[in-house]
Amino acid sequence: MPLLISAFLLFIAFVIAAGSLWFLACEMSPLGYEVSFGRVVTAIILMAVSILLTSKFLAPMGGMMFSIPVFAAVTVLIVKLALRLSFSRSVVIALIYAAIWTIAWGFFD
């Protein structure tokens, strides 16, 4: 039963993350450009995989001081390529998204 509750809370966190990323992308995108929710879900999945890979492989080798900048760069790249936005808009969205996710993750710890 606790595993089911944890899985449900993780699902809720991903839904909130996807909704907030979609809202940010819609607000930051140029006029006339529509951001599809499928692209947002793809970006969320790729960012989740990238944080798992950086924490598993890079954190033991170089510590968190090395894995956090790599994850930040990968997140900006994922947002830029998946949502087809400019670099500056991708940086802003990635920073706001990381802040929202960090605050949300603090509630689950």
**Residue written as tokens 């500056």?**
88
Computed on alpha carbons and rounded to an integer, the radius of gyration of the chain in Å comes to: 14
pLDDT score of 87: 93
Length of the chain in residues, anyone?
109
What string of H, E and C letters represents the secondary structure of the chain? CHHHHHHHHHHHHHHHHHHHHHHHHHHHCCCCCCCCHHHHHHHHHHHHHHHHHHHHHHHHHHCHHHHHHHHHHHHHHHHHHHHCCCHHHHHHHHHHHHHHHHHHHHHHC
45-95, pLDDT tens digit by residue?
898 888 788 878 877 777 767 777 888 889 899 999 999 999 999 999 888
In the chain, the percentage of residues whose pLDDT exceeds 90 is: 15
pTM for the predicted model, two decimal places:
0.79
